């Protein structure tokens, strides 16, 4: 369940920091009862950015596959070996 806190609670920086580190989810901050911002730990942020990058690359690969832009695995390895002199 998402954690939601009012903006006035941001004054409690140590408590908020601990809350962020203990939670694997973003914490939603409200102002006057409406969503205003989201905070999260660096670990959670890095994990989310990594997964976003993975999904973006998978999507690009699926598009290439649908367009028929594929090559044989052996050919791919040959190109990589030539490129990096391996």
pLDDT of residue 61: 93
CA-based nearest residue to 23, from 7, 6, 8, 38: 38
Q: Which two tokens stand for residue 6?
A: 């009012």
pLDDT in the model for residue 71: 87
Domain boundaries, the chain: 3-40, 43-84
pLDDT value, residue 2: 85
Model pTM?
0.73
Q: What is the reported pLDDT for 1?
A: 81
pLDDT digits (tens, 9 = 90+) for 4-35: 999 999 999 999 999 999 998 999 999 999 99
Please give the Cα distance from 71 to 51 (Å, whole number): 26
């Amino acid at each position: 369940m998402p954690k939601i806190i009012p903006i006035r609670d941001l004054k409690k920086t140590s408590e908020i920091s601990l809350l962020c580190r203990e939670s694997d989810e973003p914490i939603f901050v409200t102002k006057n009862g409406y969503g205003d911002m989201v905070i999260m730990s660096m670990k959670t942020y890095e994990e989310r950015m990594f997964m976003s990058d993975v999904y973006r690359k998978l999507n690009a690969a699926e598009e290439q596959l649908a367009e028929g832009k594929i090559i044989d695995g052996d050919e791919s390895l040959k190109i990589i070996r030539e490129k990096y002199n391996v």
